[in-house]
Structure 1
Amino acid sequence: MNIIKLDAIPSTNDFLKEKLSRQYLENFTVVVAENQTGGKGQMGSIWEVQSGKNLTFSVLVRDLLLDIQSVFHLNVAVAVSIAEALKLFSIPDLAIKWPNDILAENRKIGGILIENILKSDGEIFSIVGIGLNVNQVEFTDLPKAGSLFSITGKVFDKEAVLTSVLEKLKLNLALLQSGNHEQFWKIYDAMLFRKGVPVSFEDTSGLRFMGIIQGVNCNGKLEVLLENDLITEYGIKEVILLY
């Protein structure tokens, strides 16, 4: 496993993409930054980290996805891998908030951003960006954020956490490559935040409504049972879960 460690860069995803455009990189090349100054989250949000306290890293995944339609299988496997790794450190009440947030005790401790590159020959490269709040104490203006430290009161060895996540990720992606994606969907579904209970949503027009999460389909859309007893599907940019 090729691991590139850096002090401070704008984005580990962007660094890995640029490096990939200039040279051959082996599968599972990892870029880790002590401080990421321009990290991105879903829908263009900024992922802010306290320098030296957290984990921000990106992993190159190649020779895995056969077609662009199977992209969310990778999302599911990555989210499950992180959750399984954190369970080894006895992090309580872990959950996966659709589509790719990792929660503990209802607070966001991690996020995933996967960017896929489709080559002219049909080959798909995936840049898996992961941010984990490890030892950060304060989260200014982020009342729903937390860290492994704030949840447990313990200081964690970042290298140990990184190693655990990478080992789980490598193992599970090998299983995914063999076509065994159903087991990851089952775990993802079982860990889905607020599934089966009434929750509030907000759509792109600002309209708020109630619904009950039924699950996530293979295209990554959230299935919600509305008050009119109809199940409606929502894409990542179409609705926000309020909690």
Structure 2
Amino acid sequence: MAAVSDDGVRVVLVDDDPLVRAGLRMILGGDRAIEVVGEARDGIEAEDVVAEHAPDVVLMDIRMPRRDGLATTSALLRRWPTLRVIVLTTFDEDDMVLTALREGASGFLLKDTPPERLVDSVRRVAAGEPILSPSVTAQLIATVAGDNGAARSHGAQDRLERLTEREREVAVAIGRGLSNAEIAEQLFMSVPTVKSHVGRLFAKLDVDNRVQIAICVHDAGLV
């Protein structure tokens, strides 16, 4: 899959509900930097549509006939590792969201995400920044952190001791679901500086993504 072109972000919509696809097309169509280049009704059709249109980002429903969004995300990323997939979810699909994270999805949004945040999320994911709806982050944390709370808390606190004060502030902001730009504004630093801090957090906390940072911060009782 090619990198995002100067012409804007190319998007494919994958959802079995035509009304949902129409709503997403209308929302994204209001941004000149985004072009919806194709639609698919299920996971099997999605693979053909992605092959034909070479999008930068796929908006992926989880529950679909023939092949669901989890299997489809995995299949797409095996063929096109640089493709970005945003999973559209609801609160009754926590276990599926966690699986999608393991399969390599770049972001998670609730289906009732406000239009402006949806547009912003597509642009950010296309630029290489994973995104998570704050509500989805909170739900994922609650799902993962259910067992052995005392041990998890002590372990998380020990890991956070490795951080500088500034790194800890960035970690807490991630735990609240803030984007790099929002963290930069809140903590009065540049976005590149935030990205540098996030990279160090990955290394120091031995994690692979922002959700794992959020879980660590939650376990330590900082959010």
- Superposed pair shares fold, TM > 0.5: no
Higher strand share: 1
Higher helix share: 2
Structure 2 length normalisation: TM-score? 0.28
